[in-house]
Structure 1
Amino acid sequence: MTRQVLLLLLATLPGCGPLLSEGTGAAAGIGSASLAEAVGASAAATTGIGIGVQAGARAGLQYAQRRTQRSAQLRLAAAAGPLEVGEVAAWSVRHGIPLQPDEQGEVTVTRRIGAGNLDCKEIVFSVIDPPSRGAADSARRFYTATVCRDGTTWRWASAEPATERWGSLQ
């Protein structure tokens, strides 16, 4: 089985983001270096091509991960937008490409912030982890953020999402 097929299969498994991240770059670097060597490029050129393709593959994967995270942020903002302070609503996101597992939880507005045309809300939201093997209940993690109205659309407005939740892709 080729490395590319293996990586594609791993991408369909939830929670394989770190493995996919490292595997994508490694497979791209190895594959391009092998191709360059096969066509007779020098060792330096082969190494340069491998490193360049590896960096490009890693950047492409990180771009896709940021878009996946953005869709979760937009879903949270849309769920929180119509809420008044103290109200609670469910939110969920289903990812078309399984770079991250589908998520769900609850969101509440803790306070309104703004003046004039600036209309923002501070929110607390939960992310429900599916039950682990043998566990009867699922666990919840809690985070805070800010969402603001942009015309008729509510958008994520936190400058830096929690590092624990979003990793280094801020």
Structure 2
Amino acid sequence: MYPYFVPLLTALLLSGCSSFLMEGTSAGAGIAGAAIADSMTDNAALATGIGLGVQAAAKAGLQYAQRRTRAEEQDAIAQAAARLQVGEVGDWAVIHGLPIESDAQGKVAVSRLIGGIGLSCKEIVFSVVAMNAPPETPHAYYVTTICDDRGQWRWASAEPATARWGSLQ
């Protein structure tokens, strides 16, 4: 393995701050792109294009991984809320497949039912806290809607893991 990939891999494997990951990925990709370009050509314009292409690909890969991580959390919350009736409170937790964000947990409650013929949705209130956070860490609270999609409860908001919006997220 080439030594210029070490910063990129380190940034991707570390769990933590999103801005650190984005900047670390960008910097690592810049270093890797420069090394690749240097080994392939002496043409400055071509080398710049290669470097920018590697950097863009690395950023796109990180953004994809971040969307997948958020989708894991949203799916865990939706599945926990699916079993609840109005006024009930349950627990949710997720252990991420990619360690780019902290594993999370919290409470979820159904505040009301929304729907009609062929449409079954729930408005939910949920809390989020990192699993490794000290007990005194305050929770963040949010409100969203989930809907039953042929037996699979899914996030109904257009943020950030709703696949239909693609690059508009």
TM-score over 0.5 for the pair: yes
Shift of 1:169: 8.4
Shift of 1:53: 1.2
Q: Deviations over 1:66-101 (max 9, x none)?
A: 011101111110000121110000000001211110
2: CA distance, partners of 1:30 / 1:6? 9
State whether structure 2 residue 152 is matched by structure 1 residue 145: no
Any idea what SS the aligned residue of 1:76 has?
Answer: helix
Shift of 1:105: 0.2
Q: Deviations over 1:16-51 (max 9, x none)?
A: 332121121222222222222233331111011101
1: CA distance, partners of 2:31 / 2:129? 38
**Unaligned segments of structure 2, at least 5 residues:** 161-166
2: CA distance, partners of 1:14 / 1:54? 20
Q: Is the Cα–Cα contact under 8 Å of residues 11 and 25 in structure 2 kept in the other structure?
A: no
Partner in structure 1 of residue 69 of structure 2: 68
Count of aligned residue pairs for this structure pair: 160
Q: Is the Cα–Cα contact under 8 Å of residues 62 and 169 in structure 1 kept in the other structure?
A: no
2: CA distance, partners of 1:57 / 1:67? 15
Shift of 1:2: 3.7
Q: Is the Cα–Cα contact under 8 Å of residues 7 and 24 in structure 2 kept in the other structure?
A: no
Any idea what SS the aligned residue of 1:139 has?
Answer: coil
Query: What is the TM-score with the length of structure 1 in the denominator?
Result: 0.85
Q: Is the Cα–Cα contact under 8 Å of residues 11 and 17 in structure 1 kept in the other structure?
A: no
Partner in structure 1 of residue 85 of structure 2: 84
The percentage of aligned residue pairs carrying the same residue is 52
